[in-house]
């Protein structure tokens, strides 16, 4: 199993290797985020509910689509913050923003890079209300130094 999520780590890879902050489209795309361990808590709560015989229509059936999120980020702002952190850590010189078109994004990192220009938004209202879920792990912004360090190590190992 990989601990490397695709979008954030591909963004780190691009910033570390190409040495620029990519802006896809107009830079206004928003995306939800959730820590993988907070997401796993949702699955555990669903399993617990099933084992306990909880047949609530808030969890199963027509409403059985449970969202998990613990915030939202704008991809351009996240990329800029990642570029600033990469600079602060001494991994790159001062980051500069550069437009990244759809075809170039596909070539760079596949759909993950294209998604930096797409919206994906939702609220985890039912997970919180019906399951009592409370996300509490670090935010995607707090994880930036760890993501950069991990990706830098991975890239060094490949060299």
Neighbour tally for 34: CB within 10 Å: 21
CB 66, CB 59: distance < 8 Å: yes
Could you give the number of structural domains in the chain?
1
What is the domain-level CATH number for residue 113?
Answer: 3.40.50.720
Query: How far is it, in rounded angstroms, from Cα 116 to Cα 7?
Result: 8
Q: In whole angstroms, what is the distance from residue 78 CA to residue 29 CA?
A: 11
Residue by residue, pLDDT tens for the chain (159 residues) are: 356 778 999 999 999 999 999 999 899 999 999 999 999 999 999 999 999 999 999 999 998 899 999 999 999 999 999 999 999 999 999 999 999 988 888 888 788 888 899 999 999 999 999 999 999 999 999 999 999 999 999 999 997
**Is residue 82 included in any domain, yes or no?**
yes
Domain assignment of residue 84, yes or no: yes
Domain presence at residue 1:
no
In a domain, 125, yes or no: yes
C-alpha 119/C-alpha 46 separation (Å) is 27
**Which residues constitute the domain of residue 81?**
6-158
């Amino acid at each position: 199993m990989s601990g490397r999520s695709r979008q954030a780590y591909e963004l780190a890879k691009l910033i570390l290797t190409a040495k620029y902050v990519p802006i896809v489209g107009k830079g206004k795309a928003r995306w939800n985020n959730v820590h993988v361990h907070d997401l796993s808590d949702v699955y555990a709560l669903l399993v617990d509910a099933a084992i306990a015989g909880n047949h609530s229509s808030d969890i199963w059936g027509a409403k059985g689509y449970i969202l998990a999120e613990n915030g939202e980020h704008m991809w351009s702002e996240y990329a800029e913050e990642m570029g600033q952190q990469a600079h602060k850590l001494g991994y790159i010189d001062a980051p500069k923003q550069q437009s990244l078109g759809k075809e170039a994004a596909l070539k760079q990192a596949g759909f993950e890079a294209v998604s930096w220009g797409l919206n994906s938004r939702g609220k985890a209202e039912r997970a919180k209300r019906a399951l009592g879920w409370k996300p509490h792990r670090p935010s995607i912004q707090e994880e930036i130094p760890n993501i950069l360090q991990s990706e830098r190590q991975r890239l060094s190992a490949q060299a």
